[in-house]
Amino acid sequence: MTGNQVQADNITMSGGGLYSLATVGAKHVIDLATPRVIAALESLRERKAEHWCFSDMGCADGGTSLDLWRHVIKHIRSTDNSDIQVVYADQANNDFNALVKILHGLTQFDSYLQASANVTVMESGASFYTPILPRASLDLGFSATAMHWLSKTPINLGSHIHMVGATGEEKSRFSSQAADDWQNILLQRVREMKPGSKLVLVNFCIDEQGRYLGNTGGVNMFDQFNSNWQQFVDDGVITVEEYNAMTLPQYYHTVEEFSAPLLHKRSPVYEAGLRLVDIETAVVHCPFAEDFRVHGDSARFADAYLPTIRSWNESVFGGALSSERSLQERREIIESYYNTYRQQVALSPKGHSMGYVHAYMTIEKVS
Ligand SMILES: C[S@@+](CC[C@H](N)C(=O)[O-])C[C@H]1O[C@@H](n2cnc3c(N)ncnc32)[C@H](O)[C@@H]1O
């Protein structure tokens, strides 16, 4: 296994249901996408499916999309009692135990499953870079805040931890990897989609105003991560190699980049029958920064804000540290890293926020 593959393997969300507890903002993003999903579903209704097959790709512990699927089931049940199956897919090292417990009502989350007749769920460890379902079986595929994770890191960045800070050749390597990955995701989906079926994909993006996650005005979150990690090198806490190994295997596409394979007639995706129905961008404000505006307690803000950040990047920072260090030492460095950021937020809270910037798109299979 190459170093880059090892790094891609390090991308896991917080387990034990902590992901959904910490990421209320991600749920707001899915709530905002719900009318789009219902509209896509409505366009399929005349086909009178014998049963419905849905997928939730990159579902994590499933807590953030419970309300979405509750709405979908309610909408179908207004006229139709046919069987419904929701296939939850995530990479194999996801915390599936948490997913199963949340779906089957063993946690504080309010699952739809117990109250729904003729509805079944399946949990799959298949990556969205591979087939998830049999050929021509999917009615509606959904994914939120997941497809920015690349299949591998194309190159370790020399002076930033994220592609939003990359330039020149390094940026091109990321763009090229991301274009290949996006095409692969779509080609894997078109095979499993029924003719006329839809995808609703909600992905991080760089919007028309250059905004992206944690960069919606105020402090740029990724620049702050980067300067703190660099400071750890300067202070002798981590090595230059560990600094370089911390490159997030992520890419935020522009609207043009998302749209290209769905619009260009000679692209393999277009030739396979996928068409862009529509795409729009939207910002969902950081719920913790919004709360802070009301309560004004900076320590409380910092305490609430840090877990949402740790939920998605702690595994990558941890994976960048040398395996020659003891586990205890690695844990201490990571604690100290997040504590540094926590103190910065608590001391000077103004401008810190992790606003979400997404492209919301509906895609159709025409043949
Ligand atoms: C930020 S979470 C999003 C969870 C949920 N969809 C939401 O919006 O709250 C991203 C999820 O994508 C998953 N993921 C990353 N790469 C993946 C892949 N190649 N195939 C399937 N899931 C993947 C991660 O494991 C993680 O659970």
- Per-residue pLDDT band at 209 (split at 50, 70, 90): very high
Phi, psi dihedral angles at 26 (to 5 degrees): -65, -35
> What whole-number distance in Å separates Cα of residue 59 and Cα of residue 79?
28
Whether the pLDDT of residue 14 is over 90: the answer is no
The CB of 312 under 6 Å from ligand 1? The reply is yes
Q: At what angle do helices 221-234 and 327-347 cross, to 10 degrees?
A: 130
Look at residue 46 in the predicted model and tell me its pLDDT.
73
Contact present, 154 and 67 (Cβ < 8 Å): no
Go through 312-330 and write b for each residue having 16 or more CB atoms within 10 A of its CB, e for each that does not: bbbbbbbbbbeeeeeeeeb
Which of 23, 149, 248, when mutated, tests ligand 1's pocket best, judged by the most ligand atoms within 8 Å of its CB?
149
- Per-residue pLDDT band at 361 (split at 50, 70, 90): very high
For residue 322, give Cα distances in angstroms to 119, 224, 227, 317: 46, 22, 20, 11
In the chain, % helix, strand, coil (3-state, to 5) comes to 50, 20, 35
Nearest residue to 258 via CA among 221, 208, 217: 208
Expressed in angstroms and rounded, the spacing between residue 357 Cα and the centre of ligand 1 is: 16
Q: Residue 174 sits in which domain range?
A: 3-365
Look at residue 367 in the predicted model and tell me its pLDDT.
64
Tell me which of 63 and 49 has the higher pLDDT: 63
What is the domain count for the chain?
Answer: 1
Expressed in angstroms and rounded, the spacing between residue 209 Cα and the centre of ligand 1 is: 26
Look at residue 256 in the predicted model and tell me its pLDDT.
98
SS3 246: coil
The CB of 144 under 6 Å from ligand 1? The reply is yes
Q: Give the number of other CB atoms < 10 A from CB of residue 337.
A: 23
The CB of 145 under 6 Å from ligand 1? The reply is yes
Please give the mean pLDDT across all residues of the chain.
93
- What's 187's DSSP letter? H
- What's 363's DSSP letter? E
Q: Which atom of ligand 1 is nearest to the CA of 151?
A: 19
First to last CA, the chain: 38
Each residue of 293-313: pLDDT tens digit?
A: 999 999 999 999 999 899 889
Look at residue 6 in the predicted model and tell me its pLDDT.
39
Residues 6+ apart with CB under 8 A from 152: 2, 4, 5, 7, 8, 177, 249
> What whole-number distance in Å separates Cα of residue 344 and Cα of residue 322?
26
Task: Provide mean pLDDT across the span 5-15.
Answer: 51
SS (H, E, C) 147-182: CCECCCCCCCCCCCCCHHHCCHHHHHHHHHHHHHHH
For ligand 1, atom 13, the nearest C-alpha belongs to: 58
Cβ burial, residue 26 (10 Å; 0-12/13-18/19+) = buried
Each residue of 159-179: pLDDT tens digit?
A: 999 999 999 999 999 999 999
For ligand 1, atom 18, the nearest C-alpha belongs to: 127
Each residue of 327-356: pLDDT tens digit?
A: 999 999 999 999 999 999 999 999 999 999
Each residue of 233-261: pLDDT tens digit?
A: 999 999 999 999 999 999 999 999 999 99
Phi, psi dihedral angles at 217 (to 5 degrees): 110, 150
Look at residue 4 in the predicted model and tell me its pLDDT.
43
The CB of 26 under 6 Å from ligand 1? The reply is yes
Phi, psi dihedral angles at 360 (to 5 degrees): -105, 120
Look at residue 20 in the predicted model and tell me its pLDDT.
62
41-45, 97-101, 230-234, 260-264: segment of lowest average pLDDT = 41-45
Whole-model pTM?
Answer: 0.93
Q: What is the CATH number of the domain that holds 326?
A: 3.40.50.150
> What whole-number distance in Å separates Cα of residue 65 and Cα of residue 133?
20
Expressed in angstroms and rounded, the spacing between residue 148 Cα and the centre of ligand 1 is: 9
